Amino acid sequence: MGKLREPLRELAECGLPAALEAMGERWSFLILRASFNGLHHFEEFQSELGIARNILASRLAKLVEHGILGRHPMPEDRRKVEYRLTDKGFALLPAMLALRQWGERWETGIPSSPVLVDDRDRKPIRPIEVLAHDGRVLTKNDLMWVLPEDVARDAEAAE
Amino acid sequence: MGKLREPLRELAECGLPAALEAMGERWSFLILRASFNGLHHFEEFQSELGIARNILASRLAKLVEHGILGRHPMPEDRRKVEYRLTDKGFALLPAMLALRQWGERWETGIPSSPVLVDDRDRKPIRPIEVLAHDGRVLTKNDLMWVLPEDVARDAEAAE
DNA sequence: GGGACTAGGTTGCGAATCGATACCTATCAG
DNA sequence: CTGATAGGTATCGATTCGCAACCTAGTCCC
- pLDDT tens digits, residue range B4-33? 434 444 545 789 999 999 999 989 999 999
Task: Return contacts of A153-159, CB within 8 angstroms, 24+ apart.
Answer: A154/B123
CA/C1' separation B28–C18 (Å): 19
Q: What is the pLDDT of residue B42?
A: 97
Correct CATH for A24-116 of 3.40.50.300, 3.10.20.740, 3.90.1150.10, 1.10.10.10: 1.10.10.10
Task: Return contacts of B135-139, CB within 8 angstroms, 24+ apart.
Answer: B135/A126, B135/A135, B136/A118, B138/A118, B138/A125
- Give the pLDDT band (50/70/90) at residue B153: low
B18 touches chain A (CB under 8 A): yes
DSSP state of B131: B
Residues 6+ apart with CB under 8 A from A79: none
Task: Name the nucleotide with the smallest C1'–CA separation from B42.
Answer: C8
Chains A & B: contacts with CB separation below 8 Å: 314
What is d(CA B97, CA A15) in angstroms, rounded to the nearest whole number? 9
Furthest-apart CA pair in chain A: how many Å? 62
A147 touches chain B (CB under 8 A): yes
Q: What is the pLDDT of residue B158?
A: 46
CA A140 remoteness from chain centre: 22
Nearest CA in chain B to A24: B26
| 3-state SS assignment for residue A106 | helix
Task: Decide if B118 contacts B137 (C-beta within 8 A).
Answer: no
A154 touches chain B (CB under 8 A): yes
Q: What is the mean pLDDT of chain B?
A: 89
- Give the pLDDT band (50/70/90) at residue B154: low
Domain regions of chain B by residue span: 17-91
Q: What is the pLDDT of residue B159?
A: 46
Instruction: Tell me phi and psi for residue A122, to 5 degrees.
Output: 60, 20
Picking from B7, B48, B151, the nearest residue to A122 by CB comes out as B151
Q: Do A118 and B133 touch (CB under 8 A)?
A: yes
Q: Do A11 and B34 touch (CB under 8 A)?
A: yes
Residue A118, CB, strand D, below 7 Å? no
Task: Walk along chain A (159 residues) and give the pLDDT tens digit of each residue.
Answer: 544 434 444 545 789 999 999 999 989 999 999 999 999 999 999 999 999 999 999 999 999 999 999 999 999 999 999 999 999 999 999 999 999 999 999 999 999 989 999 999 999 999 999 999 999 999 999 999 999 888 876 544 444
Per-position b or e across B109-137, b if 16+ CB within 10 A of its CB:
eeebbbbbbbbeeebbbbebbbbbbeeee
- What architecture (CATH level 2) is domain B17-91? Orthogonal Bundle (1.10)
Q: What is the pLDDT of residue A145?
A: 95
Nearest CA in chain A to B116: A145
Amino acid at position A153, single letter? R
Q: What is the pLDDT of residue B17?
A: 94
Residues 41-80 of A with CB under 8 A from B: 44, 48, 67
Choice between B158 and A112, residue whose per-residue pLDDT is larger: A112
Q: What is the pLDDT of residue B9?
A: 43
What is d(CA B103, CA A42) in angstroms, rounded to the nearest whole number? 26
Q: Do A15 and B101 touch (CB under 8 A)?
A: yes
User: Hey, how many other C-beta atoms are within 10 angstroms of the C-beta on A26?
Assistant: 15
Task: Decide if B105 contacts A15 (C-beta within 8 A).
Answer: yes
Q: What is the pLDDT of residue A154?
A: 57
Task: Decide if B111 contacts A79 (C-beta within 8 A).
Answer: no
Per DSSP, helices labelled H in chain A are 16-23, 28-36, 42-49, 53-65, 87-90, 93-103
